[in-house]
């Protein structure tokens, strides 16, 4: 049969039974036709879980095909040999079998003799990578032969294959930076030709190979990835998100592409991919309401099927970025149900991070705090990395402070004093130095003397106040050193961009809870956000603004 007609008929068959019936009707087949038949069988019989029907390996037609490849490997064309090898690897044929050994040895012989074309080298490289645990010597030989060809003329497929091989050899401690520099340069010129898979693979390779200096290539690939967001598979999207995080990339157009894609795909997306999307948003401080609202809906529907790590990954960003979705009641009711049934399955640090994120947005895990404050749980926290470091003890202290201030009805165990810290700045709590200097200069102009305000004041209650002002009963400003006759304390929260979500006026959870607690501790909290003060052009305008914010009753009275 004519090869073109053969492949046309073969590709219309959708079961191995139909393929075997079709093949048995033929008297003669070329080796490329036989290899094509094996490839088609692998396409219809292998899914993510492996071989659907292992019995097909005992089929007499299948065994006849394999016999031809096993005992006539030296007579096969390069295409037939390598396509058959690739198909048999996909079909999970034992790599130690005589069939696979014969094909691999013949492939390596032809590689050594320099008989393989660039297309053949790609096919062999992909097959060896798929085998998991290939010898680096063979892969290096493939790269060596590839380099003999003009690298400027490599196709995207050849480029991707070499990146994959370099990844494997890098794990063995061998780094070919000179080749990588040439490869990165050529790839930069072909970025626009790359599809979703190749874009994802190259970004992942650049990350594994620590190519932090290839800024132009990484930036071009990240911009190019925007158009592929709807078409990435779950593993591909995870690779891209990891690369964005590793290389410090943040593109508004990429966020917008995620916002268009995630809400419509949330119920079909793998939970690990959703977790990675939320992790990306959390790390980049991106409060995307379309994504967060969709994830909240997805959690309510799928929470029972999530792992404990995935549950935490879905929920923690809501607290970190201080956001309550429209279905907040249903969301936290579902979380409470899941916690009741699976509490003992959570790792200690995962559970602490999860419950701490809840109190940031005024969701109080009262029923679970006795466990958190128990000596047994605290010992488990200490025994597992990172142990009871300052951040962990700060979370415990803030949980305890929350129930003390916001849940007076809580009557369970308290947190022992040895686990409490007096002060520990949270990751984004340090003040903006430039903004703080502006405010201090403006206050000096307003109050005339430096003795009337103090900056970065440690309180007895865990928090540090950016600027504190004391007033007597009549509302007159007192020297900060004075302790008697203090009737009111004003806490100025000088909130730079680092305390807000990206491109937003929404405070982060850790700053929101701080301001809430300072009010409950008796302070009058006055927020000085960057977006109100940065545009003020001189000290007089800053002082005028501060007068209006801090002393509104006397503003305008001269």
Q: Is the pLDDT of residue 320 over 80?
A: yes
Q: Which pLDDT belongs to residue 162?
A: 87
Over residues 451-508, the pLDDT tens digits come to: 999 999 988 888 999 999 999 999 899 999 999 999 999 999 999 999 999 999 999 9
Domains of the chain: 1-115 (no CATH), 433-550 (3.40.960)
pLDDT digits (tens, 9 = 90+) for 146-165: 777 778 888 898 899 889 88
Number of other CB atoms surrounding residue 277 within 10 Å:
25
Cis link prior to 386 (omega < 30° from 0)? yes
Q: With 60 as the cut, is the pLDDT of residue 556 above it?
A: no
Q: Is the pLDDT confidence value at 557 over 80?
A: no
Q: How does the average pLDDT of the chain come out, rounded?
A: 92
> What's the pLDDT score for residue 158?
87
The stretch 356-365 carries a mean pLDDT of 97
What confidence tens digit (pLDDT) does each residue in 239-253 have?
999 999 999 999 999
Among 15-19, 150-154, 333-337, 503-507, which stretch is predicted with the lowest mean pLDDT? 150-154
The answer to whether residue 68 scores a pLDDT higher than 90 is no
* Buried b or exposed e, range 117-155, using 16+ CB within 10 angstroms: ebebbbbbbbbbbeeeebeeebbbbbbebbeeeebeebe
In the chain, % helix, strand, coil (3-state, to 5) comes to: 65, 5, 30
Confidence of residue 134 (pLDDT cuts 50, 70, 90): low
The answer to whether the beta carbons of residues 212 and 247 sit under 8 Å apart is: yes
**Strand 523-529 to strand 488-495: parallel, antiparallel, or no bridges (unpaired)?**
parallel
- Identify the CA nearest to 440 among candidates 555, 554, 543, 549: 543
Across 163-172, 313-322, 330-339, least confident range: 163-172
Name the DSSP class of 484.
T
**What pLDDT, on a 0 to 100 scale, did the predictor assign at position 141?**
85
Express each pLDDT in 70-111 by its tens digit.
988 999 999 999 999 999 999 989 988 999 999 999 999 999
Closest CA relative to residue 323, chosen from 61, 544, 507, 75: 507
Is residue 558 scored above 50 in pLDDT?
A: no
Position 358 scores a pLDDT of: 98
At residue 427, the pLDDT reads 64
């Amino acid at each position: 049969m004519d090869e073109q007609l053969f492949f046309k008929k073969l590709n219309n068959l959708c079961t191995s039974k139909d393929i075997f019936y079709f093949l048995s009707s033929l008297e003669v087949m070329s080796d490329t036709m036989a290899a094509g038949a094996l490839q088609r069988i692998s396409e219809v019989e292998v899914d993510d879980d492996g071989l659907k029907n292992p019995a097909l390996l005992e089929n007499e037609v299948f065994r006849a095909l394999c016999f031809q490849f096993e005992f006539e490997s030296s007579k096969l064309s390069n295409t037939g040999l390598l396509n058959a090898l690739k198909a048999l690897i996909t079909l999970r044929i034992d790599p130690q079998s005589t069939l696979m050994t014969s094909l691999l040895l013949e492939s390596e012989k032809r590689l050594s003799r320099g008989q393989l074309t660039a297309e053949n080298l790609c096919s062999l490289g992909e097959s060896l990578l798929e085998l998991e645990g290939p010898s680096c010597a063979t892969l290096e030989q493939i790269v060596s032969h590839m380099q003999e060809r003009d690298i400027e003329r490599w196709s995207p497929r050849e480029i991707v294959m070499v990146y994959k091989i370099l990844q494997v050899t890098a794990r063995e401690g061998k780094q070919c930076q000179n080749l990588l520099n040439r490869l990165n340069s050529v790839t930069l010129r072909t970025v626009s030709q790359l599809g979703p898979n190749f874009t994802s693979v190259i970004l992942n390779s650049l990350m594994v190979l620590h190519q932090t200096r290839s800024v132009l290539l990484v930036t071009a690939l990240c911009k190019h990835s925007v158009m592929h967001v709807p078409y990435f598979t779950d593993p591909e999207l995870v690779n891209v998100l990891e690369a964005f995080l590793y290389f410090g990339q943040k593109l508004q157009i990429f966020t917008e592409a995620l916002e268009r894609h995630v809400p419509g795909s949330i119920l079909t997306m793998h939970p690990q991919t959703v977790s990675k999307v939320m992790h990306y948003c959390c790390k980049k401080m991106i409060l995307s309401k379309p994504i967060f609202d969709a994830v909240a809906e997805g959690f309510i529907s799928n929470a029972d099927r999530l792992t404990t790590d995935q549950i935490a990954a879905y929920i923690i960003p809501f607290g970190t970025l201080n956001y309550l979705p429209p279905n907040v009641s249903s969301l936290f009711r579902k979380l409470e149900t899941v916690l009741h049934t699976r509490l003992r399955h959570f790792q200690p640090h995962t559970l602490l991070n999860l419950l701490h994120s809840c109190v940031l947005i005024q969701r109080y895990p009262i029923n679970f705090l006795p466990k958190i404050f128990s000596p047994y749980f605290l010992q488990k926290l200490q025994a597992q990395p990172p142990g009871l470091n300052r951040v962990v003890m700060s979370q415990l202290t803030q949980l305890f402070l929350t129930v003390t201030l916001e849940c007076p009805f809580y009557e369970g165990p308290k947190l022992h004093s040895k686990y409490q810290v007096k002060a520990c700045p949270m990751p984004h709590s340090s003040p903006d130095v430039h903004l703080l200097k502006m405010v201090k200069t403006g206050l000096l102009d307003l109050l005339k003397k430096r003795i009337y305000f103090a900056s970065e004041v440690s309180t007895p209650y865990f928090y540090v106040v950016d600027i504190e002002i004391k007033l007597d009963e009549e509302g007159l400003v007192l020297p900060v050193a004075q302790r008697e006759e203090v009737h009111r304390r004003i806490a100025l929260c000088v909130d730079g961009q680092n305390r807000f979500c990206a491109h937003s006026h929404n405070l982060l959870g850790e700053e929101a809870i701080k301001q809430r607690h300072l009010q409950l501790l008796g302070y009058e909290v006055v927020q000085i956000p960057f977006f109100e003060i940065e545009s003020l052009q001189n000290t007089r305008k800053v002082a005028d603004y501060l007068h209006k914010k801090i002393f509104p009753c006397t503003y305008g009275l001269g």
